[in-house]
Structure 1
Amino acid sequence: MTVDTAPTRLRHQLPLVLWLVLVWILLWGTWSWANVISGLVVALTVLVLLPLPHVVGGVRFRPVSALVFLGHFAGDLVLSGAQVAWLALRPRRADGGSAIIRVQLRADSDLLLTMVAEATSLVPGSLVLDLDREHRVMTVHLLHVRDRDAIERERADVLRTEERLVRAFGSAADIEGLAATAGTSTGERVP
């Protein structure tokens, strides 16, 4: 096990410090030097008292692919939000149920798997119940599915979300892994 030197740790945690200071300033609702300095003190205190392992290596940021992901994600949020709202407001009918599916993911990075799970859970109508890291299988609860075709469309949506995230933030090896496993998905409906 290697121990990072203080400058190395600080370099890897600098984005987190900046993020925590920004959140601190936003929570206070006004920019001032006092808020910046106190935010810096709070951020450093949090990082010293609650140290997190840093995520290094393999992650790349591709702005165009990130914008593609964000555009599709925003569209999914609006569409799914409208569908869930309609389900809540419409007269009750028994024309659909819920389903629990398993999706075999292709990414092998902890960060990418977490991003896929978070993006899936943030979209109304779907909730990640479990993420099996060892086998890269995500279990998702789906609200209002009518038939097996709807289930397969939802599974394909999760895989498209994964692909967009890998293309936006994955390493070259992650992107190659997508091509190598294209078209593979497993899962079944759980009553």
Structure 2
Amino acid sequence: MTDDLPPGAGATGEPAGVPRAAPAPDAPAPTVGRGGRRRDQAVALAWLVVAWMLLWGDVSWGNLFAGLVVGVAVLLFFPLPPVTFGGRVRPRALLVFAATFVVELISASVHVAAVALHFGYRPRGAIIAVPLRVRTDLNLALTAEVISLVPGTLILDVDRAEGVLYVHLLDVRGPEDIAGSRERVLAVERRIVRAIGSPDEVRRLDIEPVERRNHQ
């Protein structure tokens, strides 16, 4: 009730005609300095060069130079959204990631070759949605790139807001293949995060999101 308020006071107890104090503004979002931007661009350029050389399948000085030229052109003429790197490089986990990637690359290549040489066999494809546990732009980009480099799998779309990868599978013979492919995508994410992720991102690997359960 307002009957007990002093004359000239409003319903809030403040004198009439006196404007309220504006709420304190939110703290400004942290900005990335020039050094941070250069570091992020260097990381992006390095990954573009690696992707270029892997796509050509030949590690040579010529491909390295061409990858640098293409990478610089992409960053200049098609600027990517800022992707900050707040993780930590772990050499042992990075070696595990690299070794596992080579093994999976060889295994998938043999499987695709066997499917291609199997006369009269028509492989059945499938598209699956795989929600990732770490939804940063860097993790989405790296996981999608690694999955696309492995024969037999291809990223069709990325839901950046929800952190979901839509993956096309070449040869699906039953539900167990779909479940196994989903687990392989999550295993790639896990190895990437353990190799270069922050401690908080590593902890997220043990959390199973609701979206993942709903997609199973």
Give the TM-score range, shorter chain.
Answer: 0.7 to 0.9
Instruction: Say whether the 8 Å CA contact 2:115–2:121 is kept in structure 1.
Output: no
Match for residue 161 of structure 1? 188
Shift of 1:179: 1.4
Question: Is structure 2 residue 184 aligned with structure 1 residue 149?
Answer: no
Higher helix share: 1
Instruction: Say whether the 8 Å CA contact 1:103–1:186 is kept in structure 2.
Output: no
CA distance in 2, matches of 1:29, 1:91: 39
Counting aligned pairs with the same residue, the percent is 38
Question: Is structure 2 residue 175 aligned with structure 1 residue 140?
Answer: no
Q: 1:120-146: per-residue Cα shift (whole Å, max 9, x none)? A: 111000001111011111111001110
Give the number of equivalent residue pairs: 176
CA distance in 1, matches of 2:173, 2:164: 23
CA distance in 2, matches of 1:49, 1:60: 29
1:18-167 matched pairs, under 5 angstroms: 26-27=61-62, 52=80, 54-94=82-122, 96-167=123-194
Name the TM-score, length of structure 1 as normaliser.
Answer: 0.74
Gaps of 5+ in 2: 1-28, 53-59
Instruction: Say whether the 8 Å CA contact 2:148–2:155 is kept in structure 1.
Output: yes
CA distance in 1, matches of 2:155, 2:102: 19
RMSD: 3.6
CA distance in 1, matches of 2:173, 2:135: 32
Name the TM-score, length of structure 2 as normaliser.
Answer: 0.66
Instruction: Say whether the 8 Å CA contact 1:69–1:165 is kept in structure 2.
Output: yes
Displaced runs of 4 or more, over 4 A: 1-21, 42-54, 182-186
Q: Which has the higher contact order (CA 8 A, sep 6+)?
A: 1
Instruction: Say whether the 8 Å CA contact 1:104–1:186 is kept in structure 2.
Output: no
